[in-house]
Each structure stands twice: as structure tokens, then as C-alpha cells.
Chain A
């Protein structure tokens, strides 16, 4: 792209001479006879002008006013302005440089000095433009990252969202093994309900249920793996280690059962029988990023997950079923009723299962630590 300079001088002789000198170094010149014409030319040029050569004494709008107007305009601020001045006008040059002029060009014009100053100013302009462009791109990028993080945290559990933003997160996302507790819950009677109720009622109930359960998951520090209609899977002890992960899982399940009791009573008055069934299992599992390009979940894979899922399916309304390992960890904390050895699909040996009836007194729980 050819460099373009704007010559602002009320003397046609000076304009003609400057244009000629600029042409000899490959710079196109536009001309203005006063400040007003200069501002109009800058507006029309739409950023094509790379440097302004500005005379001080002019009719209509003099060099000072023109310079001030250029510096006050956001889109022109970075445009270099070289003052044209006679040797007896050095005072006004100093004043202009204080006002933001880049340099000055003495009259009579020396083509070598003119070329050097104009080229230096054009180079500076290109540099400033690049900087501005870079800063704008940087700001845009930061904004995008912030927006994506915000967007992401709406889809991810808070723990995973925080993890994504840290360097250690990369390693954890890649996959690791650790003991964890999986909690599955879904609703008894939901299929019948969704069959009979109006779609608005079904969605209304799910919204209320998700909002209430979501709050309890967060309160107990659970990592929500997914919602699927009336079902949800939550796990504990990952990605943030929780020494009391089983206790958290059980306390959350009990709180969910209580919370859901209130909601179910309301729906019961409308003739819908709904109950919460929960399965909890503790065991070693693989945790990390699961899925495919474009759609990943932070997930837990292992026998404990399958057992928790099967227990949740086996649970009757308001039952919270534990596998032996989970039960052993919270033995002192809970009142249970033995459900017996359950034969779960996919498992050769039956699983001895208990149902949590209630939490013991907190005081009693403290002694188990």
C-alpha cells in the first residue's frame, strides 16, 4: 500500500514543493489549504493518511487548533503530525510538540531531512497501529476466554470449572485412579407422572427438582457428572480430594430425601405419587475427561459407578441404598436397615445392601472420625 501524507499549508507554493519532494520518495500527497479542509480530508481518507505535514499560520483554522482537533479525535490520535516552520518560528514548534506534534520540518525544505522525518513518522505510525491492533486482539481474546469460562461454569460443576482454569487441571483431566463415592438418584413414579401430567407440569417439576438438588450437591461439595431427566449422577472425592467423601455423599442423600419429601407432598395432592430412590457405592475408579472432541464430560468410570446405578434402580421410594464399602465408612453415622443380598445385573455375586433410615446424632458421628 502506498503511503499517503496530508500537506496542510495555505501557501500553494509550499504545498506544490512538498508534494513534489514526497513523490520523489514514493509518498502520495493530499493537500489542504487550512485546518478545516485538513480535518475534512482526514475524515474522507478513512485512515489512509499516515502522516500530516502541518503549517502553523493559516486562515480559518490555524496549526494549533488543527493539531488540538487531531489529538482530541480518538481515531486520529495516533496519527503523526510534523510541523512545518520557518527558522524564526521555533517557539511555536516547541508549543506544538507539547501539544502532541511528533517532529518539525524547517523551511526552506531540505529534501533529505524531509524524507528522513516523514519516513520516521510513518514507521512510528505503523508501529503504533500494530500495537493498537495487538492490544485490541489481546483484549478480544481475554474477553472471549472470560466469556467461555463463564459459559463453561454454567455447564460444569463448580469444581470442574475451577479445575479447567488451572495448570494442574490438565493432568487431572487426562485421567487418574482414586477411591471415590458415586451417588445415583432418580424418581420412582416419574414415568407414570410424565405420562399423565401436562408437559408444562413435567418440566415445572424437573426445574424445581433440579434447582433443589443442585443446591444440595453444591452445598455438600459433590461433582455433578450429569442430569438425565429425573436421574442424576454425582460423585465425591474428585477432582477435589475429600477425606470424608462417603459421609458427604450420605448426608447429601439424606438431605435430598428430606427436601424431596416436601416437593412430593405437593404433587401427591394433585394425585401423583413420586419418590426419590438413591444408590451410593464407594470404590476405586478412573476419573477424568470422557467423551470425544467437541463434547467431553468430566466423568467417573468403574465398578462403583455401576453398582451405585443398579442400587438406585433397585431402591424403592425414599430408600438410600449403600454398598458394603460405603456402609463401612459411615457405619457410626447412620441408622440402617439391612435390605439383604441384592442380585444386580452384570454382577455374578449378590451385593449385601443396607438402606439408610436416618443420620445418628452429630455427637455420635464425631467419635467415628
Chain B
């Protein structure tokens, strides 16, 4: 169902660019921050999922949801939202699969960001 959501929403990205007055240097810098911390969040979620620790997955999922949305990575944001909700509900059964989806979408996101010129 998340397949309907764009990996990288160009409209959100356009809005972000406009909100900083078209400062491309800042956008690239922000994207670098996102890549660095997003990678950490994915790794933390993988650890929590394989340990079946629903509570520990909430925070990285929550933060990834939020920072992804800021950069227009809407599909990953939505997947992270699902993981956060599952974590809050204490539902650890589907976590491994959800995190695998997140991981795959993360890779797609990075590819799209590179295409968009956001990352080197």
C-alpha cells in the first residue's frame, strides 16, 4: 500500500527549497545530515527488530518518520510511521519484515536523492 506513495516527493522538495530561498548549498548540507542520521536510525531499528524489542524501535522510527518527511522521502516516512505505531502497540511480530521494507526503501531514497543532485 505504501507503493502508491512517491519515494521522493518532488513537490515537498520544491516547497523545502522555496522555504530556504533556493539555497541549494543548504539543501545539500541538510541532505547529508539526513543520510548520516537516517543510516543510524535504520541500523537501530534493525537491532530492535531482530531482538523483538518493540519499545526500543519507537524512537528511531519516530525520528526517521519526521526527518524523512522534511526532505520529501514520503514513502520511507510512511513506513517508519507504521513501525512506530507497531512499536507503540507492542506488536513485535511484523517488525522484522517492516524494517526490511524500510531498509529497501532507504536504498531507493538514496538513489533518488542522488539523481536529484542532493547527494554526491
Contacts and interface: CB of A to CB of B under 8 A. Distances in A.
Contacts of B26: 20
Interface string B30-47: 100110110000000000
Contacts of A109: 19, 70
A108 B20 contact: no
A11 B26 CA distance: 17
Interface string A100-126: 000000011111000000000000000
B49 interface: no
A13 B37 contact: yes
A59 B20 CA distance: 29
B41 to A, nearest CB: 9
A148 interface: no
Interface string B54-95: 000011001101110111000000000100000000000000
Contacts of B81: 88
Contacts of A57: 58-59, 62-63
B66 A11 contact: yes
A17 interface: yes
Nearest to A15: B33
Interface in A1-56: 10-14, 16-17, 20-21, 24
Interface residues on A, range: 20 to 34
B12 interface: yes
Contacts of B101: none
Nearest to B26: A20
Contacts of B24: none
A20 B59 contact: no
Given A13-B37, A17-B70, A21-B19, A59 B59 contact: yes
A86 interface: yes
A117 to B, nearest CB: 15
**Which of A10, A58, A107, A109 has the most B CB atoms < 10 Å from its CB?**
A10
A111 B62 CA distance: 22
Nearest to A85: B66
Interface residues of B, number: 23
A132 B81 CA distance: 44
B5 to A, nearest CB: 15
A27 B108 CA distance: 36
B29 interface: yes
Contacts of B19: 21, 109-111
Nearest to B20: A20
Contacts of B16: 108
Contacts of A21: 19-20
Nearest to A56: B62
B70 A108 contact: yes
A21 B19 CA distance: 8
Contacts of B65: 86
B67 A11 contact: yes
Nearest to B84: A57
Nearest to A86: B66
Contact of A12 (B37, B62, B71): B37
A20 B26 CA distance: 9
A207 B69 CA distance: 86
Contacts of B59: 10, 57-59
Contact of A16 (B12, B29, B58): B29
A13 B58 contact: no
A108 B12 contact: yes
A16 B29 CA distance: 9
Interface in B1-40: 12, 16, 19-21, 26, 29-30, 33-34, 36-37
A11 B65 CA distance: 10
Given A88-B81, A108-B12, A108-B16, 17 more contacts: A10-B59, A11-B37, A11-B66, A11-B67, A12-B33, A13-B30, A13-B33, A13-B71, A16-B29, A16-B30, A16-B33, A21-B19, A57-B62, A58-B59, A107-B70, A109-B19, A110-B19
Interface of B: 12, 16, 19-21, 26, 29-30, 33-34, 36-37, 58-59, 62-63, 65-67, 69-71, 81
